Amino acid sequence: MSEPLATLASMREALDAGAASSVDLVEGCLARARAAQDALHAFAGLREEGARAEAAAADARRASGARRSPLDGLPVAIKDNMVQTGEPTTCASRILEGFVSPYAATVVERLERAGAIPIGRTNMDEFAMGSSTEHSVYGAARNPWDRARTPGGSSGGSAAAVAAGLVPGALGSDTGGSIRQPASLSGVVGLKPTYGRVSRWGLVAFASSLDQIGVMAHTAADCAWLLEAIAGHDPRDSTSLPEPVPRYGETLDGDVSGLVLGLPREYFVEEGVDPEVLSTVRAAVSELERAGAKLREVSLPHTRYAVATYYLIATAEASSNLARYDGVRYGHRAAGVRDLTEMYHRTRSEGFGAEVKRRIVLGTYVLSAGYYDAYYRKAQQVRTLLRRDFEEAFRGCDAIATPTTPETAFRIGSKTADPLTMYLSDVYTVSANLAGIPGISVPCGFAQGLPVGLQLLGRVLDEATLLRIADAFQARTDHHARRPAEAP
């Protein structure tokens, strides 16, 4: 095929028209992924043999009239913290080198049941701890719009792969903005569902009360297909919600007339935000108003505490979750050790990178005797206040609109020496994770030639409204249709 088909919908149309086979689509994605790897580092690894076999099986199903779903035969990518049977899973960390999973994550099972074909694992910040995909054993991922800049993180490999047209859709995980922030910086759509909407079984844990698997694609419509395939109750995940999954695609009617968008005054301040990003987001909100939405100012008064609260809770949970990596059962084990204590110490020292170590130390500190009440317990109390802020705001609006990030993609290396500045990249996104509500970032324009994202936040389990608004916005604009000049 002369040009890559960028969206799941366009690939589906090509299959239905007989203009392409699943084998053609998979081979095209694999070829582009290989060609772009040195430039973008979007992938941690490709599963070429397995993907080709699954593509051939999809073509056979189509020939027999046994199509499974709209995703049947379409290539996708999976972030390197979701296990796949017989495939490596490393979380971009040396400490999991050599680990091959004996089972598949629920989301992978459900994608495969729908007929989607994972072609590879995408690069990420080590154990999803970062906002730039620079903390990776595979090297920093790069933004297709400007390869000197980050695609965001921690799901930066997924964002870069979709933005560059290497795959039409990908899974990511979002603990404090790790889907929405890279989606914004890379110019794609990224959706974090309600906590519990999508099973976390088989997702390597970072912060268990915050982690959520979500989807990335060029369009809200494609995200609706992906979310519908992976969402739903899973008895293997105790946090999974036993709620029916809507037919998300059927809600995309292009009509936002009468919907009320809340504009939180705490998010639309000039301090700490690129003025061009803010003006671009305001213009996007105005476009939705012209489409029939109503605007209303709301307040989220505890927003100023969100980043501090997040980094106390997330690091505490990371400290607990990452204690299992000790060199005993799987992954890296230090060589030449004299006793068990030395093995633990050296294995973890050699296996974890600097950012992961920083967060483990901070999390251990806030959980320690004498500091638990002052830090961790207090953070959980503030988390309750943040959730109540959203509950109150949603009494007067159907969704909340904000910038996704305070700036466009920043240069690789520009923030690594200042972790606090890096953490502020999540200032607009962490509150949704703390409150457990869904959020989506949709491309809404450009600043200095780089993508800007509009974030929409919704009520618990109301992903359908967010997708509906995002789809209506994309029907009236073409920001999502633009492609980076440097993409392969």
Residue indicated by tokens 């060609």 = 35
Report how far residue 422's alpha carbon sits from residue 444's, in angstroms, rounded to the nearest whole number: 23
Omega before 173 cis (within 30°)?
Answer: no
**Phi first, then psi: what are they for 134, rounded to 5°?**
-95, -20
Non-local (6+) Cβ contacts of 108 within 8 A are 78, 82, 83, 84, 85, 118, 202
Longest dimension (CA), the chain: 70
Report how far residue 11's alpha carbon sits from residue 8's, in angstroms, rounded to the nearest whole number: 5
Are 115 and 25 a contacting pair, CB within 8 Å? no
Gyration radius of the chain's alpha carbons: 21
Are 154 and 188 a contacting pair, CB within 8 Å? no
Q: Could you tell me the two tokens for 354?
A: 């600097």
Closest CA to 210 of 434, 367, 463: 434
Instruction: Tell me what percent of the chain is helix, strand and coil, each rounded to the nearest 5.
Output: 45, 15, 45
Reduced to 3 states (helix: H, G, I; strand: E, B; else coil), residue 76 is strand
Report how far residue 178's alpha carbon sits from residue 150's, in angstroms, rounded to the nearest whole number: 13
299 in active site: no
First to last CA, the chain: 14
Are 226 and 342 a contacting pair, CB within 8 Å? no
At residue 54's C-alpha, the angle toward residues 53 and 58, to 5°, is 120
At residue 133's C-alpha, the angle toward residues 207 and 118, to 5°, is 80
From the candidates 22, 93, 101, 154, give the one annotated as an active-site residue: 154
357 in active site: no
Omega before 155 cis (within 30°)?
Answer: no
From the candidates 21, 79, 319, 431, give the one annotated as an active-site residue: 79
Closest CA to 78 of 180, 193, 200, 161: 161
Are 101 and 92 a contacting pair, CB within 8 Å? no
Q: Could you tell me the two tokens for 234?
A: 């899973």
Report how far residue 455's alpha carbon sits from residue 444's, in angstroms, rounded to the nearest whole number: 9
64 in active site: no
Are 195 and 174 a contacting pair, CB within 8 Å? no
From the candidates 178, 186, 199, 425, give the one annotated as an active-site residue: 178
Residues annotated as part of the active site:
79, 154, 178
